[in-house]
Amino acid sequence: MAKVLVVDDSKLFRMLASAPLAGAGHTVREVDPVSLFEVLKVLYEFNPDLVVTDYWMPNCNGETLVRAIREDPNFHNVKILVCSSHGEEALVERMGNLLVNGYILKGGGMVNLLARAEHLVGGMP
Amino acid sequence: MDEPSITVLVVDDHRLTAEITGMALEASGFQVVIEEDGPSALARVAADASIRAVVSDLNMPGMDGLALLETLRRQGATLPFVLLTGQDETALGSGQTRPDAVMTKDGAVEETLPPLLRRLLRGGLPGLDLASALRALNQDRDILKTLLQAFREEYLDAPAELLALREAGDSAQCLARLHSLKGAAGMLGATRLPQAAADLERAIQARADGPQWEAFTSSLRELLDGIKEI
């Protein structure tokens, strides 16, 4: 089972993302991205295997967060799954270039989120 | 007669109340059997495979409605269970097993109970891919109910709030709130609402919003009304 950090400015969305992951046996922690510092603080404390994050967040831009994770050697093995309502091709490509491990649309539902997350952390004891 | 072959078990220690509930169901085409206490109801469900749903009073001497539900679920019975109560839902406590629906005993029961039962028997909720949501949640109906209620609380007044923002000229805030709603609805498994929200989002961005408001409001209302009855 994996440790998953859910980052989204909507408490409701954090609940919707956490429920299927926790139901599948993963250890889930949620963080309200009031600032990039706050998210990084929780990252250090929790040391997740996977970060599920929104892209458009008013106080912590998803792209900035992804860059911060990728540039920190402590998080070398952390997988990143971006879950957004936006599906513009340019955005998907840019996130891909930032070495995220997956990009899904919120419209795909909890089933899709769970399937993609489990694919990324598959095989973890 | 909508569902002539479906049998519903009504459980109430007040025979007259059970018969009044039963008459309302029979008038809508259900067949009704009545028991006056929990143990008799358990025996009836075990013996009569034609029973497809249970409507039970909460307060009964000996085994109350929740104890009846918990025993049925423990025995593996998955049939829809509607709890009728004269109390506020908070009186139900924090037990692990929740009924599929709770209805307050009032004059509206005879109008609202039959369509609610039909919906529960179909296993669906208008505007929601219930099967998919349950699959994601490992078939945990209690968690799904918690998520649905949270969605309802968050967006109960959304049309009025969004319209007020739009009319005040705060399109950015209106779009941000609409965007969050679209994402949450999509993640929940709503079938029509995400598209209606996306259409409205685009129309507002193009400053050409009009009929999209009605489609959005009716999609949201359909989902919220369904959640309310759960």
What does the pLDDT look like over B20-63, one tens digit per residue? 999 989 998 899 999 999 999 999 998 988 898 999 999 899 99
Partner A contacted by B136 (CB < 8 A): yes
Q: What values do phi and psi take at A6, rounded to 5?
A: -105, 125
pLDDT tops 90 at residue B161: yes
Q: Which CATH number fits the domain that encloses residue B118?
A: 3.40.50.2300
Provide the pLDDT for residue B94: 53
| pLDDT confidence band for A101 (50 / 70 / 90) | very high
Q: What is the CA radius of gyration of chain A?
A: 13
The predicted model gives A11-40 an average pLDDT of 96
Same domain, B111 and B34: yes
Residue B128 lies in a domain: no
Q: Which of A15, A20, A85 sits opposite B136 (nearest CB)?
A: A20
Q: What number does CATH give the domain A3-121?
A: 3.40.50.2300
Q: Which of B136, B147, B194 sits opposite A15 (nearest CB)?
A: B147
Write down which residue in B89, B123, B157 finishes a domain: B123
B183-221 pLDDT tens trace: 999 999 888 899 899 999 999 999 999 999 999 998 899
Same domain, B117 and B154: no
Instruction: Return the residue in A32, A85, A86, A114 with the most chain B beta carbons within 10 A, the one to mutate for interface testing.
Output: A85
Task: Give the three-class secondary structure for A24.
Answer: coil
Residue B211 lies in a domain: yes
Show the tokens assigned to B42. Answer: 């358990």
Model-level ipTM above the cut of 0.90: no
Q: State the count of interchain CB pairs (< 8 A) between A and B.
A: 77
Q: Which of B136, B146, B184 sits opposite A114 (nearest CB)?
A: B136
Cβ within 8 Å, pair A110-B137: yes
Who has greater pLDDT, A91 or B166?
A: B166
Same domain, B21 and B59: yes
Cβ within 8 Å, pair B140-A23: yes
Which one-letter amino acid corresponds to residue A96?
G
User: How far away is chain B from the Cα of A91, in angstroms, using its nearest Cα?
Assistant: 16
Q: Which residue in chain A has the smallest CA separation from B149? A: A12
Same domain, B102 and B42: yes
- Rounded to two decimals, the pTM is 0.68
Number of domains making up chain B: 2
Partner B contacted by A36 (CB < 8 A): no
State the alpha helices, DSSP H only, in chain B: 15-27, 38-47, 65-74, 109-122, 130-136, 141-155, 158-167, 171-188, 193-205, 211-228
Same domain, B21 and B118: yes
Provide the pLDDT for residue B129: 84
Name the residue range of residue B27's domain.
7-123
Who has greater pLDDT, B23 or A94?
A: B23
Same domain, B103 and B35: yes
Q: Taking CB atoms and an 8 Å cutoff, what residues of chain B touch A24?
A: 138
Same domain, B83 and B176: no
pLDDT tops 70 at residue B181: yes
Same domain, B160 and B220: yes
CA distance A2 to A116: 13
pLDDT tops 90 at residue B91: no
Q: Taking CB atoms and an 8 Å cutoff, what residues of chain B touch A109?
A: 129, 132-133, 136, 186-189
Q: Which of A13, A54, A110 sits opposite B136 (nearest CB)?
A: A110
Provide the pLDDT for residue B88: 58
Report the percentage of chain B scoring pLDDT > 70.
Answer: 91
Q: Which residue in chain B has the smallest CA separation from A13? A: B184
Q: Which residue in chain A has the smallest CA separation from B131? A: A111
Q: Is A35 left (phi over 0), alpha (psi -120 to 50) or beta?
A: beta
Which one-letter amino acid corresponds to residue A93?
E
Same domain, B46 and B107: yes
Provide the pLDDT for residue B116: 83
Q: Which of A20, A23, A85 sits opposite B183 (nearest CB)?
A: A85
